[in-house]
Structure 1
C-alpha cells in the first residue's frame, strides 16, 4: 500500500511538472508514466514493448518523445535505467545507506539526503539559492580489492 501511495505521489508530481511545461496529459502519456513507475525499464524499446501490449496503436516515436520530455524536466535519468528520480519532497524512508570505515551504517531518508547535500554544496560555495534537481550516485570501484 505504501508503494502504491508513493507511486501515485510521484505520478501526480510528474504530471504537474508536465503541465507546467505546457504538455497535454494524454491517455498514452499517462500509460507510459504508469509503466515506468510500475517497473524498472532498461530502455525505450522495453517501455514500448510493454506499452504496445496495453495499446497497440502507440508508436515508438511517442515513447521516445515522452522519455525525452521526462528527462528534460528531471523526472527520470537515463543513467538510472529510467527509474523515477526522487526530489526533496520524496518520503522514501531508507533512500540512502552510508557505510563508514568503522563498519557503522547511517541510513538517511530522501528528505535528509537532499538536506545534507544542499547544505554541503552551499557551504562549499557550489550553490547559492538553487534547489537540487537530481542526484546520481555511482558505487565506488577503487576500494574493492
Structure 2
C-alpha cells in the first residue's frame, strides 16, 4: 500500500517511474538502511549499472515529497492519506491478544511513560518501532 501511495506522489510531482526507481523504493521499504551508501550497495547487488547519483537523487526526491525523513534514518512516512490505521497487536503470556489502533496505542504508551516517571506534561510526537530479526518475540 505504501509503495502505491509513494509512486502516486512521485507521478504527481512529475517523476517518471523507472525500473531503478521502483527497485530503490523496494529496498527502502523492506530494508533497514541508515544511509544512502547502504541503499546504494544494496541496489548494486540487484543492478550493477545503477549509479550513486541515481540513489542520491531518488533519496532527495522522496524527501521532497515527504515520503521519507533523513532524520529518522530513511523511515517511510505514509502519512495515512488513504485513511488506513496501523494496528499494534500485543500477545500476552496467557495467549490473550490485544489489538490497539494508533490512537489507543499512543494513549497506552503515554500513560505508561507517565506512570514510570519518564514524562510529565509532554505529549508524544512520534513512536518508532524497529522490527527485530530474532526468531523469538521479546
Common fold by TM > 0.5: yes
Which residue pairs with 1:48 in the alignment?
40
Q: Does 1:80 align with 2:72?
A: yes
Q: Deviations over 1:26-58 (max 9, x none)?
A: 000000000000111100000000000000000
| Alignment of 1:137 onto 2:131 | no
TM-superposed CA distance for 1:138, in Å, is: 7.7
1:102 aligns with 2:91: no
2:11 corresponds to = 19
Q: 1:49 to 1:38 in 2, by over 3 A?
A: same
- How many residues align? The count is 100
**TM alignment of 1:53-68, pairs within 5 A:** 53-68=45-60
1:93 and 2:104 are equivalent in the alignment: no
Equivalent-residue separation in structure 2 for 1:69 and 1:91 (angstroms): 26
Give the direction of change, closer, same or farther, for the CA distance of 1:87–1:138 in structure 2 (3 Å limit): closer
Runs (5+) with no aligned partner, structure 2:
89-101, 117-124, 129-138
- Return the offset for 1:91: 2.9
d(CA) in 2 for partners of 1:87 and 1:93?
Answer: 15
2:122 corresponds in structure 1 to none
How far does the alpha carbon of each residue in 1:65-113 deviate from its partner, in whole angstroms, 9 at most, with x for none?
Answer: 000000000000001100101313343213554232236xxxxxxxxxx
Larger Rg: 2
Separation in structure 1 between the aligned mates of residue 30 and residue 41 of structure 2, nearest angstrom: 14
The whole-number CA distance in structure 1 between the counterparts of 2:70 and 2:17 is 22
Mark the runs of 5 or more structure 1 residues left unpaired by the alignment: 1-8, 104-135, 140-145
